[in-house]
Chain A
Amino acid sequence: MIASRVRFAGLAAFLLVGATACGAAPTTAAPSAGASDGGSAAGVDARTATSAADFGGLDKLVEAAKKEGKLHVIALPPDWANYGKIIEAFKAKYGIEIESETPDAASADEINAVKTRKGQDRAPDVLDLGQSFAISGAAEGLFAPYKVETWDKIPENQKEASGLWFNDYGGYVSIGCDAKKIAKCPETYADLLKPEYKGKVALNGNPTKSGSAFAGVYAAALANGGSFDDIQPGLDFFKKLKEAGNFNPVETTPATIEKGETQISLDWDYNNAAYAPKMAEKGLDWKTVIPSDGKYFQLYAQAINKDAPHPAAARLWQEFLYSPEGQNLYLGGFARPVLLPAMKADGTVDAAAEANLPPVEGEPTFPTEAQVNKAKEVLAGGWGAAVSG
């Protein structure tokens, strides 16, 4: 039985390597030659520039970025908030090459990449992070402060005062539903418990891992007598959903929707809304509603890696994202850009794209960081118990 022993040892080794891969990632240290003097031709150090003015204006920033010629991004799925088109538009406008790595990575992976690839050419330049990762990353000193030209229009509670991070786009938790297969689509959390939705209600991921699924539980809490301070009713709701046989553990992807395995899915409204045109081609009628009893809005945040190998390109990318053009591109992907209210006021908004957004009433409110952290603790401890069995 030597063979099986060796195989088992191999298996155990594989397991070990897998478990610690993040810590022991191969480090082909190759500090970029251009990194240290990036932008110095323009007389400024791009690494410490905190605004376009530091370069001597946007034109000079463009010049410095073009000299670097490259931008390394991570965790930007092409079908998420229109990032596919945003990347294309940036490339076309400035002729800067974008290396998009691991589009499906999570926020934790982004932070890991920043830490483990410090000083390397393949470190990510810019990050698109879940709110709490932006806050914790800033506290760990991983980001460079930068204020885009439209900085003043970003609401106070949506940015870190010195520019270490600033929110970019967001959305509401919504219920997506295949109206071809479901006679009457659910419109509230209360609806989801109805017997007719047996085995059909899915989440986009596991709430202890996926930000959108976490938001789904938070919204369920708000719909069931909970508050930003108390996510427990959300867990109780999913326990009830599980007991009713309505909870579907398969995590939603476009493939599971197309297959009909996840006919009802809780997800960000920009994901659900963006599925609709694609699903229409496959003969599905994918409808998106924002549940009236549990409205939860959240934004993601942008940050620049303090040790970005392409510091000027990283800053230009931010300027692009927060220009009306970039913000309207988010809007084109059904995401609600942070400057939407300001753009509506000054008339730069793409009205057609805005009209496509799933309608919602009332103004969004936001939990504090402490409230979110507490909710996560409760969720990490209770989610398994709520839906297992």
Chain B
Amino acid sequence: MTVPAVTAAAPRGGRPRSKNWLGALPLLVVTAVAFGIPALTLLAGAFTVKDPATKVSSFGTANLARSLQGPYLNALLSSVQLSAVVAVAAAVAGTFLAQAVITSRFTALREAVLTFSGVLSNFGGVPLAFIWIATLGNSGVITTALGLGPGVLYNFWGLALVYMYFSVPLMVLVVTPALDGLRPQWREAAQNNGATTWQFWRYVGIPVLTPALLGGLVLLFGGAFAAYATAYAMVGSTVPLVTLQIAEALTGDVLIGYENVALALSLDMIVIALLVMAVYLPLQKRSSRWLR
């Protein structure tokens, strides 16, 4: 409630700079509560080791060590692999699709694709899995019609295909404004100076688009990395994924005392996400000035 009061009290012609951060206060508070508390709980849990026999808790790295071994390490690697494949493939497909749509002469097509993208990019979870099971599953419509064998869908590539279903539309949404930002004048200027189409893209288009493309990649990676329900309903444990491992360790009828391993796995996920961001941010800074 302090925010409106401060802005009202600020003198005309420029608020005092020192109080500007107050406007962000609600956001900071929400972040601290919604992000900070779980993060601290997670850290505390991940480093708490409980002896199964004596039930005594102590501080240690056994959970983390465990989360980086055997099946857990496998799951982490497989998750990263799947997310990377999905992010790259969807980024390429999404960019070409977006470029094709915005250069077409039909505005209706553009509107339709963007609207569909908005809907489909939020389409995931169990319904998505069941749509694919009904289509390409062992007794799916297409599987039966084409006489494909069983198990077409239930592997790494099947899952990647399903993830593309929400990743490509997301990329279209992310990259369209950036493609719109490529001014026709730049192209004309390049052509006047004798540049070929390839040279235009090589020296102007792609460098200017880099932050948008990288941002899209990071976003798609994150989306695929965190996806859970779709994979859970579709491939169970045949494609090892870290989100599924976390769920197994946290809730279930079988494993007891793996809760802190799950928290350690979550910590691993955060570290990977931060690493991906760390690659993206400096590159984004370098070329974002063109898109102002």
Contact = CB atoms under 8 A, between A and B. Distances in A.
Contacts of A366: none
B70 interface: yes
A248 B288 contact: no
Given A19-B266, A206-B248, A207-B254, A1 B215 contact: yes
B39 interface: yes
Contacts of A210: 252-254
B226 interface: yes
A200 B154 CA distance: 12
Contact of A11 (B174, B222, B235): B222
B211 interface: yes
A193 B134 CA distance: 25
Interface string A366-389: 000000000010011111110111
A381 B258 CA distance: 12
Nearest to B143: A199
20 contacts: A1-B211, A1-B284, A8-B218, A8-B277, A20-B263, A23-B42, A23-B45, A24-B37, A108-B255, A133-B256, A198-B149, A206-B244, A209-B251, A209-B252, A245-B149, A248-B138, A250-B133, A376-B255, A383-B71, A384-B74
Interface residues of A, number: 67
Interface in B24-43: 31, 34-35, 37-39, 41-42
A22 B263 CA distance: 11
A27 interface: no
Which label, helix, strand, loop or mixed, suits the secondary structure of the B interface?
A: helix
B237 A384 contact: yes
B269 interface: yes
Most interface-central of B234, B248, B284 (chain A CB within 10 A): B248
Contacts of A259: 133-134, 139
Interface of A: 1, 3-5, 7-8, 11-17, 19-20, 22-24, 105-109, 112, 130, 132-133, 136, 139-140, 198-200, 203, 205-212, 214, 242, 245, 247-251, 255-256, 259-261, 263, 376, 379-385, 387-389
A186 B237 CA distance: 24
B162 interface: no
Contacts, number: 193
B125 interface: no
Contacts of B248: 206, 208-209
Which label, helix, strand, loop or mixed, suits the secondary structure of the A interface?
A: helix
A11 B254 contact: no
A250 B234 contact: yes
Interface string B44-74: 0100000000010000000000000011001
Most interface-central of B38, B216, B238, B254 (chain A CB within 10 A): B254
